[in-house]
A and B are shown apart, each in its own frame.
Chain A
Amino acid sequence: MPERTVVVASSTGLHARPAKIFVQAAGKQGVPVRIRVGEGKPVPANSMLAVLALGATHGTEVTLEAEGAGADEALDSLAELLARDLDAEENSRG
């Protein structure tokens, strides 16, 4: 199954606004994407509650997985999102 492993770059981790941006983006992909920490249980990336419960902070390595047509594109775009500091982007905007 296609996977991408990426380090969470947002300074508050996958919490608050960064989590919301990620979860909303995951929900818009054409394929179901799952996310896990290390060898933990993969959870749906489009569920805020599941993503929060990962407890992923700044610097945590997370793995995204998906299967089927468009899986690679979906994984690339979500991995790219996680590799950005979404908090900093919000601050520079505001």
Chain B
Amino acid sequence: MAETLNGLGVSPGRAAGRVCRMAGPPELPAPSPVTDADAELALALDALRATAAELAARAEKAPDADAKAILEAQSFIADDPGLHESVETSVRSGRNAAHAVDEACAHHRRALLDAGGYFAERAADLDDIRNRAVAAVLGLPVPGVPDPGHPFVLVAGDLSPADTVNLDPGSVLALVTEKGGPTSHTAILARARGLPAVVACRGADDIGEGTWISVDGQLGEVEVGIGEEAATAVQRRAEEDRLRKATSRGPGRTSDGHPVKLLLNVGSAADLTPSGHTPSAEGAGGFDAEGVGLFRTEFLFLDRREEPTYEEQVAAYAAVFRAAPGGGHVVVRTLDAGTDKPLPFLGLAEETNPALGIRGLRVSRVRPEVLDTQLDAIAEAARATGAEAWVMAPMVTTVAEAADFAARARARGIARVGAMIEVPAAALRAGRLLEELDFLSIGTNDLSQYTFASDRQHGELADLLDPWQAALLQLIADCAAAGQAAGKPVGVCGEAAADPLMATVLVGLGVTSLSMSAPGVPAVRESLAAHSLERCRENARLALATDDPGEARKLIASGR
């Protein structure tokens, strides 16, 4: 008997298969007295050796060189004689196997953190080894993404970036999480990989291992207990759908020919190189776009303790400009450091409320030279490659900030200067901003967070972060109207742009470009081609008039 669960659809598409659950990190039981220290030591060391072997086996199957190197290093550390020695010391002082592994890992973790610099970056490896080895000692399921040897739907509480480094798109059919919101790591990863996903799915924790389920990543519906035959039918339709989309090409257009630029969100040149991850057979299907609408430059420098040099930046930006589709049209966002992506080399002080503190453009209040060097490097890379590089600043809040940024960029010969709209204050003054700037790009993830006063990673508040919330759409409508009045482009580069239904609403509101992860482009292109501009405007009116986001989505999906 099938049962339907409802969550937030965050990555469109349908898929069905058997459930594999991801176990969380094991908790330590209360310490117990040790009667046979040799047996405890053997148990602990066997667990570490098994962990090393498992990590080495995963490294062999790693989808890319980076993941392989990470897993090899972890395997090597799990086998480290120094770690084994610490475990022995701990057992001899009366700890049982699980506690000894925990204590030894904690000891070495601290030592690495004390060493500082890039040595400290290895500390996270010990967390993973600790979790795996403690689970092995306690006979609990191995934490992390399972590897059952057949395709599966991954069901978890939530997914962290570390969980997903080894996610094999060949075996994971879809993602369902009990927690998480539309801007959680799960959602972003799913869209980047083109996997259907439903987050904030109440009841997902109770879905049993091995159950056949189907996932609708558009409507946010999960059907539990459908049976193998129904699952096969869903998979067959999904495959046909994929093949059709893989052949989709060309610029974005509504059915009556209204142009909407379809652009890519990238973090480096690697995101512009077709890899084995793309679902289409030719690989290039997802990369037929009209340029890059969001180049997140900070992704090149995450974890860096030393500021990247001017020369290094020129080379990294030039690589993206050369790889970009659409004749090298690239919108470069200057460094966006913040709560979820600290840049160690900036040396920013800890803040009690970092989302409301020194982030984005505000960093240039304390480190103005970092922005100046970056603008110099962008200008030079654009000159060297002949790319049509536009720049925009993140977290612009006032007209004065926009004017200052524009002056600094234009002084370096950068022709088109814009701002991200993430702060409601900026959205409310979009018309004035466009007197200083050439374009706006709306970051729906942060604009939601700041408009609804809800942390983007907060699972309990996912409903408030739903991009179908009418208040968010109202702010987008106001920005788009300001753009039309000024005759200047206003795009959306938040992940909402990748939702094929939402894309029709955004176009109806007057948005001129949609920028998203490459796998999202074909579905959006197809959706726009199936709607006239008037129909998009009708969808926009309907969405603005509907207070309940779920209701708005269903109304527009059903074509009423």
Contacts and interface: CB of A to CB of B under 8 A. Distances in A.
B76 A48 contact: yes
Contact of A55 (B80, B82, B115): B115
A49 B115 contact: no
A10 interface: no
A57 B73 CA distance: 19
Contact of B82 (A16, A20, A49): A49
A48 B80 contact: yes
Interface stretch (A1-9, A39-47, A75-83): A39-47
Contacts of A43: 82
Contacts of B117: 55, 57
A52 interface: yes
Interface string B519-531: 0000000000000
Interface string A1-36: 000000000001001100010010001000000000
Contacts of A27: 81
B118 interface: yes
Nearest to A12: B118
Nearest to B126: A49
A53 B115 contact: yes
A52 B76 contact: no
Interface residues of A, number: 18
A47 B79 CA distance: 9
Interface string A48-71: 111011110100000000000000
Interface stretch (B106-114, B215-223, B486-494): B106-114
Given A20-B73, A53-B111, A47 B118 contact: no
A27 B118 CA distance: 24
Contacts of A54: 115
A47 B119 contact: no
Interface of chain B, main secondary structure: helix
Nearest to B116: A55
Nearest to A14: B119
A53 B119 contact: yes
Nearest to B114: A53
Contacts of A55: 114-117, 119
A15 B119 contact: yes
Contacts of A12: 118
Contacts, number: 49
Contacts of B122: 52
A58 B455 CA distance: 41
B119 A49 contact: no
Interface in B366-396: none
Contacts of B119: 15, 52-53, 55
B80 A53 contact: no
Contacts of A57: 117
A54 B120 CA distance: 11
Contact of B108 (A15, A44, A53): A53
B106 to A, nearest CB: 12
Q: Which of B83, B85, B119, B122 has most chain A Cβ within 10 Å?
A: B119
B80 A47 contact: yes
Nearest to A50: B82
B428 interface: no
Contact of B112 (A16, A46, A49): A49
Contact of B115 (A20, A23, A52): A52
A52 B118 CA distance: 10
B111 A15 contact: no
B115 A47 contact: no
Nearest to B110: A53
B118 A15 contact: yes
A49 B108 contact: yes
Contacts of B81: 27, 44, 46-47
Contacts of A44: 81-82, 85
Given A15-B118, A52-B112, A53-B112, 16 more contacts: A16-B73, A43-B82, A46-B81, A47-B81, A48-B80, A49-B77, A49-B80, A49-B82, A49-B108, A50-B82, A52-B115, A52-B119, A53-B114, A54-B115, A55-B114, A55-B117
9 cross-chain pairs, A with B, having the tightest CB-CB distances, nearest first? A47-B82, A55-B115, A53-B111, A50-B82, A49-B108, A49-B82, A49-B80, A53-B115, A48-B80
Interface of A: 12, 15-16, 20, 23, 27, 43-44, 46-50, 52-55, 57
Interface of B: 73, 76-77, 80-83, 85, 108, 111-112, 114-119, 122
5 contacts: A47-B81, A49-B80, A55-B115, A55-B117, A57-B117
